[in-house]
Each structure stands twice: as structure tokens, then as C-alpha cells.
Amino acid sequence: MTVFELKQEFVKVFGGTAEDVRVFTAPGRVNLIGDHTDYNGGYVLPIAISMKTFIACRTTNDGFIRMRATDIDDCVDVDIKHLNDYRDLKWGNYQVGVAYELERRGYEIVGCQMLYHDELPHGAGLSSSAAIEVATALLLATLSNEKRGIKDDINMVEMALCGQGSESNYCGVNCGIMDQFASAMGKKNNAIFLDCEDLSFTYVPINISGYKIVISNTNKKNELANIKYNERKSECDAGFEFLKGAGASSLGKVTPEQFEKLKILMTNDVIRKRTEHVVYECDRVKRSVTALKGGGIFLFGRLMSQSHNSLRDLYEVSSTELDILVEEALKTEGCIGSRMTGGGFGGCTVSIVKEENVEEFIKTVGNNYRERIGCEATFYISDITDGACEIV
């Protein structure tokens, strides 16, 4: 749907004319490497992708945020004086949570009409919820600043934090900061090398000319993810207790050398495996950044595959479908690295594939996946894009 068409849809739903309708957007993300490290104060390397969430909106003065979506048959009208009362919505609680977080940070929430349009598949691990949160945060903060006559640029890191705050403080999902940060701070043709402990970051140019980033969707929703996510988080917290002797500020900052010296203290095998993943995964992120900066794309590909194996065997968050997609990808000519990306238990893989082999990759991996799993995989070839913005 084009922006023009979205505005026409908005007028059909809310009336009036398209003249005063504005459009905000935020992208989904794919993490190139560094999974289950963000909530351990470690490193990640995500990119913002071409698939996005769009919100058409218009300011009103009736004290309500009125939300509709092009693909969901639900209407949510939120009284801005009672933002705390909408935690149990089937759809819309992420957005209200964002409004709630903004208000806590001193923004004045302004009534408006909003029509959501999503290009991102839901539950596919491409951060459709983070995109919704970040686009909503930018929109509401913009309206708030305009109402108060504040001309400063919106702080996009703060918008990412509002998105994360909505999930953890309002919706009860204890996620890390990676997804919202990537959606808010993405930069065209760059990955974000982010230290999730203090949010310091640098952009890493992704010069992989001749290669494409191919996202393969298992089309299995990551349903177990929430339960297992919290379980993994506490296992990591427990593991860090044994590594405190290293003097690191968080598990993500423990080096492989420190880990090897102290791991003997961990008699619980599960805890040892979880922490081993985090420590070595953070190391792989740092080595990937060095490799990518020096044009070492093949080394990066190998690190991606090691990362997948670690998520499968040590962290145990992969699934048969993800493993088969990775296995089939790596058998295909021109694929130099492949791994599950995001929370796991379903969702997507990311692969780096030589441009001339992409068509064959999609055909072969798709056929073999169908044969082995009995359902279709979906493939997306993504550019690396900028983060959230208003489309003007």
C-alpha cells in the first residue's frame, strides 16, 4: 500500500479529507549476530529492514486516542486520562503502553486518530511489535512537542526506551532493548554495534557488494518464546553469580578467558551452557565487527554459523524448522553464512547469499524445506534501511 493509498484508507475509516493526515513509520529488524545477549548487558549487531509499520494519523481534541488497523478487525478507543486501564487489550496494549511511558517521562499525550498498516508478519521474529511501539512513540512525542511549542528534535534512543518500557512495564514481556533500538536508530547500509549495558553504539558499514541478506521465514510462530525467554533470563542471572570473580559489570562483559577459568564453579550443566553461549556470542559480535570493517565477509559468515550452533546446542532456543532452514541454506551454492535470528523457537533465519545465487537459493531451500517440514517457507530480500521517521 502506498502512502497515498493509506491516507485514502484513513479517510474512509475516520472521515474528513486527506489534507491533515500525517504518516509515521518504523522498520522491523534482523539481528545479524548476537542473540540473547542484550538482556545480559552484552553486544548485538542488528539492522533495520525494508519491511515496516506505518501509521496514518490526525490530531483531535476529544481526549481520546482512536486506533484502527488495515489488517485487524478491532477498534480501540483510549481515554488519555486513564492510560493505566488498558493492559488487557487483545490488540493495542503495546501502543497504550507507549503512551503511558511517554507520560511518565513528562510528555503530554494528545488525542488523535490512528490507522495502523503493517508490512511485517506478526510473530515471525522480525520485531513487528517493536516497530509498532517505536512508530507510536515518535508520533505521540511529536504531537506532544508540537502542542507544547517544543522545537527540539525527538531523542530516538528515548523512543526506543519507551517501546521497551511499554513491553516490560505495561505488557509484562521482559524483552531487552535490541529490537526497539534497531527500529529507532537504524541507518541505511549500516548495522548497529550496540553495547546493551550502557547503550553506547557505533554504526558499522555493511559493504557486502555482490551479496544479499536473505531472510527466510519458517512460518512457525515463536509461541514458546515468551515463557522460555524469562526462563533463559533467570538461568543467565544465576550463572553470572558464579562468574562475579571476573569483576565484569555484566555477563555480557565476561571474556572467554575469564569464563574458561571460572566455569569449573558451575556444577549445573544447564547454567554453564547458557552462560557459555552468552560469553562466546558477545565475543563473536566483536569479532564480526572487526571482520566486517576489514572486508572479511567469509569470516563473518563462519561466525554466523557458529552463532547458530551455539543457540541450538548451548542456549537451546532453536527449533527443527530453524535448523533445517540453516542446514539447507549452508548446502546451497553462494551461501556463506546462515543463522536463526531473534528470540528463536520459530520465526526467521538470516543468510548471506551471493547475488547471482539468490534465485536458486530460494528455490532449493524452499523445495527442501517443504519436503522435510511439510509447509512453505517465505523468503524476503532486505535492504538495510533508516530507522523510524515521519514521512513528509
Number of neighbouring beta carbons within 10 Å of residue 156 = 21
Find the shortest distance in angstroms from Cβ 182 to ligand GLA: 10
Among 67, 98, 178, 251, interactor with ligand GLA by CB under 6 A: 178
Which window, 75-83, 171-179, 186-194, 267-275, contacts ligand GLA (CB under 6 A)? Answer: 171-179
Residue 186 binding ligand GLA, by CB under 6 A:
no
Does the annotation mark 71 as catalytic?
no
CA dihedral 91, 96, 101, 106 (to 10 degrees): 160
Find the shortest distance in angstroms from Cβ 342 to ligand GLA: 4
Which window, 19-27, 36-44, 212-220, 296-304, contacts ligand GLA (CB under 6 A)? Answer: 36-44
Find the shortest distance in angstroms from Cβ 299 to ligand GLA: 21
Among 6, 22, 25, 35, interactor with ligand GLA by CB under 6 A: 35
Pairing label, strands 112-118, 64-69: parallel
For 367, which DSSP code?
A: H
Among 28, 165, 186, 343, interactor with ligand GLA by CB under 6 A: 343
- Check: CB of residue 137 under 8 Å from CB of residue 102: yes
Diameter of the chain measured on Cα atoms = 68
Among 101, 118, 119, 179, interactor with ligand GLA by CB under 6 A: 179
Q: Give the three cell numbers for residue 22.
A: 500525517
Q: Which is nearer to ligand GLA, 35 or 119 (CB)?
A: 35
The candidate with the shortest Cα–Cα distance to 45, out of 54, 34, 60, is 34
Q: Which residues does 242 contact at the CB level (< 8 Å), separation at least 6?
A: 262, 265, 266, 271, 275
Alpha helices of 70-211 — where are they, by DSSP H?
93-104, 128-148, 156-165, 178-185
Find the shortest distance in angstroms from Cβ 125 to ligand GLA: 7
Which residues carry out catalysis?
179
Residue ranges binding ligand GLA (CB under 6 A): 31, 35-36, 38-39, 175-176, 178-179, 342-343
